[in-house]
Structure 1
Amino acid sequence: MKTIKLSATDSTNSFLKDLSQNSTLENFTTVVTQNQTKGRGQQQNKWVSDPYKNLTFSVFISFQDLKVIQKKYLNFAISLAIYNVLFTKNLPKPSIKWPNDILSANKKICGILIENTFSGDRIKNSYVGIGLNVNQETFPEYLNNATSLKLETGIAYDLDILLPTVLEEIKKNIKLLTSKKFTLLEEKYLDVLYKKNIPTMFKNSKDEIFMGIISGISDFGKLQVQLEDDTIKEFGLKEISFL
């Protein structure tokens, strides 16, 4: 497993994608930087991270036989890998917030961005970007729901030790994925899904507020919510938010 360390870059995902277009990459090649200047999150959001304090890295994963329709299981595998590592750190109430934010209680500690290339009906390569808040102790005011390992546990972590631990867990879960252990991955993901089976207030893309209960994830990775009339409605990433 090759690791490329950069002192600074705009985006580790962008760097890794450019690298893969110009060379043949070993599976699980990882790019990690001490200072990511233009980190990206879901929905074109920015990922803000203080230099030298956190883990900002991307992993290249190639697949031989993963269908596009099975994409949600890739998300399960990566999310669970980060969750599993953080669970060992005795965080308060760790969970996965759909689709792949990792929370401690109600605060975000890790964000994941998965970008794929395709060949026909198969996923060819994935670029898995991860921003894990580790030793950062203050965040901008507009990130009032952000937290870090140090804030939650009172412990400062060695980034050079933590990164290989995370990468090994990713490799283990990708092995489950390529072995087609889809049911196991889904069960584990749903077991730790934030607010699952709990009556919750949501807001849709029309700013309508409604009560619902998260019941599962559809075949296409959409969030399934049971409404007050007991019907199940499915929502994409930009179609629903927690109130």
Structure 2
Amino acid sequence: MGYKVAVVGATGNVGREILSILDERGFPADEVVALASRRSMGVEVSYGDKTLKVKDLATYDFSDTDICLMSAGGAVSKEYSPKIGAAGCVVIDNSSQWRTDPDVPLIVPEVNADAIVGFKKKNIIANPNCSTAQLVVALKPLHDAATITRVVVSTYQSVSGAGKEGMDELFSQTRAVFVSDPVEPKKFPKRIAFNLIPQIDTFMEDGYTKEEWKMVVETKKILDPKIKLTATCVRVPVF
């Protein structure tokens, strides 16, 4: 018997990719439901060779749904994930909303799958930041073999991490530079075309960006709270 799976944020880039991967990997789903905000109702998205019509998240009944893959941002997750979990559906959240919550396990299956045992407190499981996920997979065998005490890491992240607006800005700025048109940054703090920007997300009081802070606290939660970590995150002009 397969699962009934809901994908929240199904019209976004990540939501569409989740639908694609569910099909490619042959996930045992008897039914997949695409959900988004009311303004996206009726929009069609692809799930393998099938077409799904998007339903309204606000009115959807999760009581007979097994798994909700939440990929609609922190604000939406904050509002809906507790309600969905209370309805008996397990939420796997892709935003940063629940990552530091002590009652929500932060899971990378290859690293700390055993930590999932605590998910029933809220019926929510958090995914880490994408950079953190890659980092802890590399660190895990080293940490097991010889306990790591300190990590210094730099990441160089494409504009796709900033969503469609980020990709559109790189495209338009690159074209503008080639034809000598003026360039006005909107999505990024500086011109991103032919440039590197050592700022991803906002700066915090200690001088680190929020992206760098995420890598520090998430690595500690997933791998070992005693590890000292310094991170530098740079946005680079590739898609």
TM-score bracket for this pair, using the shorter chain length: under 0.3
**Higher strand fraction: Structure 1 or Structure 2?**
1
Q: Rg bigger for which structure?
A: 2
Q: TM-score, normalised by structure 1?
A: 0.22
**Higher helix fraction: Structure 1 or Structure 2?**
2
